[in-house]
Structure 1
Amino acid sequence: MNKRNNPDSKWLLDAEVQYRIEEVKGRWEVSLVFIDTHDPKHILIKYINSYRSKRLAEISANAMKQTAEKDKRGTQKVNKDDYNINNN
């Protein structure tokens, strides 16, 4: 089944988008974090790319986040107390 037509992925249209930058083996990895606004425990983390400097990673992450969260209704937000993402 085509991912674009998958009914299980419809929540992504209303998801809040955040980014995560982590240093791994001397490179800075960028991932987008999609958080379901109706169920904040439902998340999807999508690896984007790795960069040689933290600044390049931040620039890329911010651009990707802005592109991913474009919505005619405005930016979706989740109450930060509803979820806790632990990187461990």
Structure 2
Amino acid sequence: MTNKRNDWLIDAEVQYKVIPVKGRWEVSLIFINTKDPNQILVQTIGDYRTERLAEIYGRNMQQTAAKDPRGTQRVNKDAYDINNN
């Protein structure tokens, strides 16, 4: 049985981020709804001793998670209006 709340993940744009946490480099995948860019999911996937290893792992996991027969999904940058003030 599928969870209708998370069906958008199939079409999500996938990005990754690497941040320092307690002397290690933490890698997270960021899933962004292509139809509603305000809907995101951030999932921590691992931590590494060097930033370079974390970047390699993050890029690899991003490419794996974003595989889609229709091509890589992208968010339309004009689809949302975020005021950073």
With the length of structure 2 as denominator, give the TM-score of the two structures. Answer: 0.89
Write the distance in 1 (CA, Å) between the matches of 2:73 and 2:16.
14
Q: Which residue of the partner structure matches residue 48 of structure 2?
A: 51
The answer for unaligned runs of 5 or more in structure 1 is none
Q: Which residue of the partner structure matches residue 38 of structure 1?
A: 35
Q: How many equivalent residue pairs?
A: 82
The answer for unaligned runs of 5 or more in structure 2 is none
Change (3 A) 1:66 1:41: same
Counterpart of 2:70, as a letter, is: R
Write the distance in 1 (CA, Å) between the matches of 2:70 and 2:6.
19
Detail structure 1 runs of 4+ shifted over 4 Å in the superposition: none
Write the distance in 2 (CA, Å) between the matches of 1:63 and 1:13.
18
Q: Is the CA contact 1:41–1:83 (under 8 Å) kept in the aligned structure 2?
A: no
Q: Is the CA contact 1:20–1:31 (under 8 Å) kept in the aligned structure 2?
A: yes
**Secondary structure, counterpart of 1:18 in structure 2:** strand
Q: Is the CA contact 1:20–1:33 (under 8 Å) kept in the aligned structure 2?
A: yes
Aligned pairs for 1:1-88 (under 5 A) are 5-80=2-77, 82=80
- Give the superposed CA RMSD: 1.7
With the length of structure 1 as denominator, give the TM-score of the two structures. Answer: 0.86
Write the distance in 2 (CA, Å) between the matches of 1:60 and 1:83.
31
Write the distance in 2 (CA, Å) between the matches of 1:83 and 1:76.
20
Q: Deviations for 1:14-64, whole angstroms, at most 9, x for unmatched residues?
A: 000000110011100000000000000000000000000000000000110
Aligned-pair identity in percent equals: 59
